[in-house]
Amino acid sequence: MPHRRHESPWLVKLHNAFYHEATVYMVLEYMDAGSIATLVKEHPQGLRDESELASITRQMLNGLNHLHRHHHQIHRDLKPANVLRSSCGEVKITDFGISSQLDSTTSLASTFVGTYRYMAPERLSGGDYSYAADVWSLGLIVLEVAIGRFPYPQTENYFSLLRLIETAESPCAPEEGGFSDAFCEFVSLSLSKLPERRSSSEELLQHPWLLRHREMDVRLSAMLKALSLEQTGAVPTL
pLDDT digits 0-9 by tens, 163-184? 999 999 999 999 888 999 999 9
pLDDT of residue 110: 44
pLDDT of residue 228: 54
Q: How many CB atoms lie within 10 A of CB 67?
A: 25
Q: How many CB atoms lie within 10 A of CB 146?
A: 26
Taking each helix axis as running N to C, give the angle between helix 181-190 and helix 208-232, from 0 to 180 degrees, rounded to the nearest 10.
130
pLDDT of residue 96: 65
Q: Where does residue 21 fall: left (phi above 0), alpha (psi -120 to 50 degrees), or beta otherwise?
A: left
Closest CA to 102 of 130, 133, 141: 130
Active site residue 95: no
Amino acid at 44: P
Closest CA to 210 of 37, 56, 68, 47: 56
Q: How many CB atoms lie within 10 A of CB 166?
A: 15
Mean pLDDT, the chain, rounded, equals 84
pLDDT of residue 40: 97
Residue 229 CA, chain-centre distance (Å), reads 36
Dihedrals φ, ψ of 185, to 5°?
-65, -40
Residues of the chain under the 70 pLDDT cut: 1-7, 96-114, 215-238
Question: Which residue in the list 77, 95, 181, 217 is annotated as catalytic?
Answer: 77
Query: What are the structural domains, with CATH classification, of the chain?
Result: 35-232 (1.10.510.10)
Single pTM value for the model: 0.81
pLDDT of residue 226: 60
